[in-house]
């Protein structure tokens, strides 16, 4: 990835170090409720990045939403790829707080400028975290260390708020899905109505508490099962 970005050019104040959350391709599936007059390739969505740890006392970089641009070369009808201008987000901080930032995981949420019609399901985000510091002799800002992060769908947390109706709906869906598990394979492919992905963290979290694992299926699996006349979206298995 290029170092020709602002994080490597803006001076770092004495006594601080710089953390760069470098973000590459953001691969999404899109749900379009109005395909006749809304085109996701003409959308201008924003992304919100939320650290697992509460870093609000360290940096306010995660309080904003950031505009995304379409990667036209990699996008196609069934897969949209977005990128973040500037290559990611960065902030300066005291070295004592580096460990807390370094070890945290990050969740990502994309909102369309037409949220009534378009919803994005993030399938992968290339991202890593870098420690930047000026070279002692040249003063040039360099990357001293890089830690590659792995994208996982965000689990339910205390910061998520769901209505009683949504909780009952997920409980009902999970109850029916559990009954479909084949005891020989300890797994079943099922269809969940996640309401444009909003209920997925709740479903995953509730299943985990009950001793099950819920995962979204790859598009290839969904298509293959669809050819057999089966409508599926997730797998559920015993942990």
Per-residue pLDDT tens for 187-220?
A: 999 999 888 777 888 898 899 889 999 988 877 8
With a CB cutoff of 8 Å and minimum separation 6, the contacts of 208 are: 155, 214, 239
User: What pLDDT was estimated at residue 63?
Assistant: 84
| Number of residues in the chain | 239
User: What pLDDT was estimated at residue 57?
Assistant: 64
First to last CA, the chain: 37
User: Rg of the chain's alpha carbons, rounded to an integer?
Assistant: 20
Residue 164's φ and ψ, nearest 5 degrees, are -60, -35
Percent over 70 (pLDDT), the chain: 93
Mean pLDDT calculated for residue range 4-23: 88
pLDDT digit string (tens) for 74-107? 887 668 999 998 889 998 988 888 888 888 888 8
Mean pLDDT calculated for residue range 8-20: 89
Most confident listed range (4-8, 84-88, 167-171): 167-171
Its pTM stands at: 0.67
User: What pLDDT was estimated at residue 77?
Assistant: 66
Domain layout of the chain by residue ranges: 6-149, 164-238
């Amino acid at each position: 990835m290029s170092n020709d970005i602002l994080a490597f050019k803006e001076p770092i104040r004495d006594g601080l170090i710089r953390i760069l959350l470098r973000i590459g391709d953001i691969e999404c599936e899109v749900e379009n409720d109005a395909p006749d007059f809304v085109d996701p390739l003409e959308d201008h969505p924003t992304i919100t990045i939320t650290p697992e740890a509460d870093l609000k006392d360290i940096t306010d970089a995660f309080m904003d939403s950031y505009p995304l641009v379409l990667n036209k070369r990699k996008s196609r009808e069934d897969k949209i790829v977005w990128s973040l201008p500037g290559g990611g987000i960065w902030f300066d901080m005291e070295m004592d707080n580096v460990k807390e930032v370094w070890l945290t995981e990050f969740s990502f949420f994309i909102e369309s400028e037409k949220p009534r019609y378009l919803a994005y399901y993030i399938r992968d985000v290339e991202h890593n975290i870098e420690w930047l510091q000026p070279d002692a002799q040249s003063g040039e800002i360099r990357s001293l260390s890089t830690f590659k992060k792995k994208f996982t769908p965000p689990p339910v947390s205390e910061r998520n708020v769901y209505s009683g109706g949504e909780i009952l709906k997920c409980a009902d869906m999970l109850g029916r899905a559990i009954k479909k598990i084949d005891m020989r394979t300890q797994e079943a492919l099922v269809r969940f109505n996640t309401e444009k992905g909003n209920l997925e963290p709740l479903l995953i979290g509730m299943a985990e508490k009950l001793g099950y694992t819920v995962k979204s299926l790859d598009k290839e699996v969904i298509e293959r099962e669809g050819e057999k006349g089966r409508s599926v979206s997730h797998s559920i298995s015993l942990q």
